[in-house]
Amino acid sequence: MDLDLILGKLETGEQQLVQKALLEYNRENSQCFLFSVQQREQRKKLGEAVIKYLSRDLQPSCQTACLETVRILSRDKHGVAPFTSSSAMHTLARCAGVEYVEEREMQCAPDAESVLEALKALCNIVYNSAMGQEVAAQLRLVHGLARRLRLSNETKSCHDSKFFDLRLLFLLTALRMDARRQLAQELRGVSLLTDALESTLVLKWADMYEVVTDCHMAVLPKEETDRAMEILKTLFNITFDISRREVDEEDAALYRHLAAILRHCLLVQSDGEERTEELHGHTVNLLLNLPLMCLDVLLTPKVEQGSVEYLGMNMDTVEVLLQFLDRRLDRGIKLRETLTPVLNLLTESSRVHRETRKFLRQKVLPPLRDVKNRPEVGNTLRNKLVRLMTHVDTDVKHCAAEFLFVLCKENVSRFVKYTGYGNAAGLLAARGLLAGGRGDRHYSEEDDTDTEEYREAKANINPVTGRVEEKQPNPMDDMTEEQKEQEAMKLVSMFDKLSREQIIQPMGVTADGRLAPLDEAEQRMLQEQRSSNLESDSD
C-alpha cells in the first residue's frame, strides 16, 4: 500500500479510516524483515505519525493496529529513530502497561492484544537501537517490568504477556550495563527472578535447599520452558560478576536457594531433546556465575532409589553434566560457546569438591589399560577431550587441558601418562611445568591406579605419543663416524637457515620450567652454572 496514502489518512484523524489503512499495510508486510532503502524516509515519517496518533484516546482495535505497524517498522534497525525518543518510549510503555507509576496514579489495564503488540515492538526497538541515549526511559522501563513481574509472581496472567515481559527485561539487561546494575542492586533482581523461576516451575521443597525431583515427573511444558529460559538468561546477565567478589551470609543463602532450583532444571526434561538441551545450556551458564561455595547443594540431596551414588553422595547432577558434555563433544559445533561453560563448571567444581573430582576421574580417566593406541584415538570421553588439547581455538584447548589436569590433581607425570607429552606440552609450557612437578593447589595423597597392563608396558611407552611403539631400527647403525658427522652438520645448517629466515624460532626449557628462545635459555643456564661454580669455590 502507498505510504503517502496512509500518511494522508493519519492526518485526517478518523479512526475507522486509519485502522483500515494500517490493517492493510500490516497484512501486506507481516512477513517483511528486509526493507528497501528507497522508502526509508517515508517509513520514518509513518513511524512518527503513528506514534503521535497513539497518544490519542483510541479504540482498542485501532490502537492494536497502530502498535502492530510500529512492531513491523521497528524491525528495520535504520528506521527505529522515531520510536527511541523519551515521549515515544513513554507512549509505548503506557500501551504495554509497564510504565512505572506510583500506586495512586494506577491506570486501568490496557487491552490484552495491545499490550502484546506493544511489548513485541519494544523488544524490537531495544534490540535494534540499544535505546540510544534515552537512559531515563530505559530505567523507567526496567522499573515497570520489575514491578509487574513481582505482581505476576503472586497472580495468574497469560503466557504471552509474561514471556515478552521477560524477553524485554533480558534484552535491556543484555544491552545496557546501567539496566543490569539497576535490576541487580536497586530492585533486588536475583531474589525477584528466583521467585519468578520457582513460580514458573511450580516447585515443591523437601528441605531448605532441596527441591522434590521425581525421576518419573511429567515433562515441563513448552510455555513454562520458554519462560524459564528467559529468566535464566536474565539472571545470567545480572550475576556475571558474583563469583569474583565475596558474598555475605544472606546472599550466600539466596544463591544456595537458586542453586537448588538450578539442580532441578538440570534434572527436568522438556518437550523435545533440543529444547531440553537449550534449557540445560542456560542452566550451566548460570551455575558458572554462582559462588563455588554455594554449589555444594548440587550434591547434598538424599540418595534415593534410582540415584547415582558415589562416596555416599548424590551424583545425579554431575552425571547429567557429564552426559551434557559428551553430547556437546559429539556435536562439535561452536565449541567455544557450547563447550567451554560446562568444562569450566566441571573444572572449578572438581577443584573445590573432592567427591566431584573423584567421581569425574572415575568416569573420564579410569585406570589406563589401552596402551597401544594414542590417547587422542578412540571414542571415550578421555579420547575426545585429549583431541581438543590441540584444537585451533585457544580457549577450547585451554579448558579441555585444564579439566584433565585438575582430574590428575595437577600432577604432571600423571597428566602426561593419560594425555601424552605432545598433547600436554601447551598447558605445561603455560604453567611453567615443562620440567615436571605439579600445580599450586594441594590435593589429598595420591592413589596407586596403575593397572597390570600399564605396569607391564610402562617401560616401552613413548612419553611423547603416550602409547607403546615398536622399536624402529636405528638408521645410523650402518654409518661411519664421518657420515654421522656430515648428517649432523646438514641438520644444523637446515635449522640455522630456518631460524635466520624466521620460519621457526628454536626454543629451550629454562630452569624454571618455561619455554624461552634457545639463546636466552642457554645464557640463563650458563649464568646459573657460573653462580653455582662461584658458590662451590667459596665453600
The residue-averaged pLDDT of 376-390 equals 94
Q: Is 205 helix (H, G, I), strand (E, B) or coil?
A: strand
CA gap 446, 429 in Å, rounded: 24
What pLDDT, on the 0 to 100 scale, is given for residue 302? 87
State residue 529's pLDDT score: 57
CA distances (Å), 14 to each of 8, 9, 386, in order? 11, 7, 71
C-alpha span between 67 and 69 (Å, rounded): 5
Where are the extended beta strands (E) located within 164-284? 205-207, 210-211
What are φ and ψ of residue 462, in 5° steps? -80, 115
200-229 pLDDT, tens digit per residue, is 998 989 888 888 877 667 789 999 999 999
Reported as a pLDDT band with limits 50, 70 and 90, residue 181 is: very high
Most confident stretch, 157-161, 242-246, 457-461: 157-161
Contact at 8 Å (CB) between 198 and 254? no
> Residues 104-137: pLDDT tens digits?
344 455 788 999 999 999 999 999 986 555 677 7
**Cα-Cα-Cα-Cα dihedral of 146, 151, 154, 160, to 10°?**
-80
CA atoms within 13 A on the CB side of 480: 2
How many CA atoms are closer than 13 Å to the CA of 48, on its beta-carbon side?
8
Q: What does DSSP assign to residue 365?
A: S
Helix axes 354-364, 316-331, angle to 10 degrees: 40
pLDDT, tens digit, for every residue of 265-282? Answer: 999 999 889 999 999 999
Instruction: Name the more confident of 457 and 538.
Output: 457
Q: How far apart are CA 70 and CA 58, in angstroms?
A: 15
Position 520 confidence tier, pLDDT thresholds 50, 70, 90: low
The pLDDT assigned to 379 comes to 93
DSSP state of 103: G
On the question of pLDDT at 288 being above 70, the answer is yes
CA 428 to chain centre: 26
pLDDT digits (tens, 9 = 90+) for 31-66: 999 998 989 999 999 999 999 999 998 999 999 999
- Beta partners for 517? 507
Q: Which helix (H) or strand (E) holds 83?
A: none
436 sits in the region (left: phi over 0; alpha: psi -120 to 50; else beta) called left
Region 353-375: mean pLDDT is: 90
Residue 149 CB-density burial (10 A; 0-12 exposed, 13-18 middle, 19+ buried): buried
Taking 90 as the threshold, does the pLDDT of residue 72 lie above it? Answer: yes
Q: How confident is the model at residue 478 (pLDDT cuts 50, 70, 90)?
A: confident
Cell numbers linked to 156: 495468574
For the chain, helix (H) and strand (E) counts, in that order, are 23, 8
Cβ neighbour number for residue 138 with a 10 Å cutoff: 23
> Looking up cell 515478552, which residue turns up?
164
Q: Do the bridges between strand 467-468 and strand 461-462 make them parallel or antiparallel, or are there none, so unpaired? A: antiparallel
More confident residue, 333 or 384: 384
Q: CB neighbours of 524 closer than 8 A, spacing ≥ 6?
A: 510, 511, 516
Spatial separation of the C-alpha atoms in residues 252 and 240, rounded to whole Å: 15
Q: What is the mean pLDDT of residues 82-97?
A: 91
Q: Quick one: CA dihedral 350, 355, 357, 363, positive or negative?
A: negative
| CATH fourth-level superfamily of 1-148 | Leucine-rich Repeat Variant (1.25.10.10)
How many alpha carbons lie under 13 Å from residue 429 in its C-beta half-sphere? 13
Radius of gyration of the chain (CA): 32
d(CA 247, CA 25): 54
Task: Look at residue 103 in the predicted model and tell me its pLDDT.
Answer: 42
**Mean per-residue pLDDT of the chain:** 86
Residue 427's nearest CA partner among 465, 466, 386, 468 is 386
pLDDT score recorded for residue 26 = 95
What is the separation of C-alpha 370 from the centre of its chain, rounded to a whole number of angstroms? 34
Query: What cell numbers appear for 127 in the block?
Result: 534490540
- Cβ-contact 67, 93 below 8 angstroms: no
